[in-house]
Amino acid sequence: MTAQIAPLKFGVAGAGVMGRNHARVLSDIRDVVVSAVFDPDAAVADGVAGLYDAKAVTTAADFVAAGLDAAVVATPNRTHADLSVALLEAGVHVLVEKPIAATVEDAQRIIDAAKANKRILMVGQVERFNPAVEAVKRAIEGEDVISIQITRVGPFPPRMGEVGVVIDLAVHDIDIIRHLTGSEIVEVQPQLARTKAEREDTALLQFRLENGAIAHITTNWVTPYKTRTLQVATTNKFVVADLMTRQVTEYFGQQPDGSYSTRGVMSWPNEPLKKELEAFAHAIRTGETPAVTGEDGLRNLEVALRCLGEA
């Protein structure tokens, strides 16, 4: 007879679009219960908490004191550090949404608190768990990456206000580049434009990595439709992925006459957010290093701030 596993009591801080998604997915994960939902707006907190028979709280102090095993921090960036540190010091494992914090100093505070309190800290870089990204990673295993091109564009999101496209969108792709190459970004050449928003709404970002690979991110809020594409060139292959449809194609075996072969790469139809949260729960239960560490989050933030001239 197998021993019963006690469910992990999860809390979700921030009941906006991302927080509601986290609560929904957590409620569908085995041996996890949504125990508390925090939002300063009582009606919002009550509405989301009521869906999962969870406790609604409207202050950070009440959330920290809610007796949680783990928490997802999906509040505005500027509040990530104080809330995450308080949770970690209270013995709560934390998954903090990207970017890890608003500043490098705040990111380091979170990392230090996790280490001091021996808690799991994971950063919510959900594209790591996109089946298409995983398929590309498998396709280029053992290959020398020459270049990576990522396009992440779409219309202006009404919910944005505090950050521009570099922090909101490009942080996803900075993480993908580091993940696919296993190398760190050492040179940054950003071109930014502001047309319709208070912060930059268009960015063309060029990078050189420690291993010699080069990368380019095109991102904006001025394209009327959403596009999410990834292209990786290696010495032997060219791999193209649509991160929305999850279709991945590998081009290889180019001949002197210009002909080449293609094949589709299998991409499993999993929900990335569920895979991310399952990976977090697994790290909590096993003590293993999480898939996206606090240090990963810090490095992604550092590169993004360098693009903005703020680091």
Task: Judge whether residue 159 has pLDDT over 80.
Answer: no
User: Rounded to an integer, what distance in angstroms lies between the CA atom of residue 243 and that of residue 127?
Assistant: 8
Q: How confident is the model at residue 268 (pLDDT cuts 50, 70, 90)?
A: confident
Task: Judge whether residue 194 has pLDDT over 80.
Answer: yes
The parent domain of residue 68 ranges over 8-119
Q: Do residue 103 and residue 140 come from a single domain?
A: no
User: Rounded to an integer, what distance in angstroms lies between the CA atom of residue 305 and that of residue 170?
Assistant: 11
**Tokens 């490095």 found at:** 299
Task: Judge whether residue 103 has pLDDT over 70.
Answer: yes
2 domain-assigned: no
Task: Judge whether residue 157 has pLDDT over 90.
Answer: no
Task: Judge whether residue 107 has pLDDT over 70.
Answer: yes
Angle between helices 171-181 and 131-139 (to 10 degrees): 30
How confident is the model at residue 88, as a pLDDT? 98
Mean pLDDT (the chain, rounded): 95
Report yes or no: 152 and 169 within 8 Å, Cβ to Cβ: yes
Mean pLDDT of the 7-26 span: 97
How confident is the model at residue 189, as a pLDDT? 98
Instruction: With CA atoms as reference, report the closest residue to 98 among 268, 272, 226.
Output: 272
Coil, strand, or helix at residue 154? strand
State percent of the chain over pLDDT 70: 97
256 domain-assigned: yes
Q: Do residue 155 and residue 72 come from a single domain?
A: no
Q: Where among 119, 140, 159 does a domain terminate?
A: 119
Domain with residue 27: its CATH number is 3.40.50.720
Report yes or no: 311 and 104 within 8 Å, Cβ to Cβ: yes
Mean pLDDT of the 36-60 span: 98
Q: Where among 96, 119, 142 does a domain terminate?
A: 119
* CA dist list (Å): 1 to 7, 8, 17, 30, 32: 18, 21, 41, 19, 21
Domain with residue 224: its CATH number is 3.30.360.10
Task: Judge whether residue 179 has pLDDT over 60.
Answer: yes
Q: How confident is the model at residue 3 (pLDDT cuts 50, 70, 90)?
A: low
Task: Judge whether residue 208 has pLDDT over 90.
Answer: yes
307 domain-assigned: no
Coil, strand, or helix at residue 186? strand
Query: Diameter of the chain by CA atoms?
Result: 69
Q: Do residue 107 and residue 15 come from a single domain?
A: yes
User: Rounded to an integer, what distance in angstroms lies between the CA atom of residue 107 and that of residue 45?
Assistant: 27
Q: How confident is the model at residue 63 (pLDDT cuts 50, 70, 90)?
A: very high
**Tokens 């990522």 found at:** 150
Task: Judge whether residue 266 has pLDDT over 90.
Answer: no
Q: Do residue 235 and residue 153 come from a single domain?
A: yes
Task: Judge whether residue 2 has pLDDT over 90.
Answer: no
Q: Do residue 179 and residue 68 come from a single domain?
A: no
Q: Which two tokens stand for residue 195?
A: 């047309």
Q: Do residue 93 and residue 190 come from a single domain?
A: no
Instruction: State the alpha helices, DSSP H only, in 12-139.
Output: 17-26, 42-51, 60-64, 80-89, 104-116, 131-139
Q: Which two tokens stand for residue 295?
A: 């240090």
Task: Judge whether residue 102 has pLDDT over 70.
Answer: yes
How confident is the model at residue 62, as a pLDDT? 98
Please report the beta strands in the chain, taking only residues with DSSP state E, as ranges in sequence order: 8-13, 32-38, 55-57, 70-73, 93-97, 121-124, 145-155, 185-193, 202-209, 214-220, 222-234, 237-242, 248-252, 261-265
Task: Judge whether residue 160 has pLDDT over 90.
Answer: no
User: Rounded to an integer, what distance in angstroms lies between the CA atom of residue 248 and that of residue 241?
Assistant: 4
Q: Do residue 174 and residue 261 come from a single domain?
A: yes
Task: Judge whether residue 1 has pLDDT over 90.
Answer: no
How confident is the model at residue 310, as a pLDDT? 86
Q: Do residue 81 and residue 134 come from a single domain?
A: no
Task: Judge whether residue 272 has pLDDT over 80.
Answer: yes
How confident is the model at residue 267, as a pLDDT? 79
Mean pLDDT of the 54-78 span: 97
How confident is the model at residue 311, as a pLDDT? 65
Report strand pairing: 248-252 vs 237-242: antiparallel
Count of domains forming the chain: 2
State percent of the chain over pLDDT 90: 91
298 domain-assigned: no
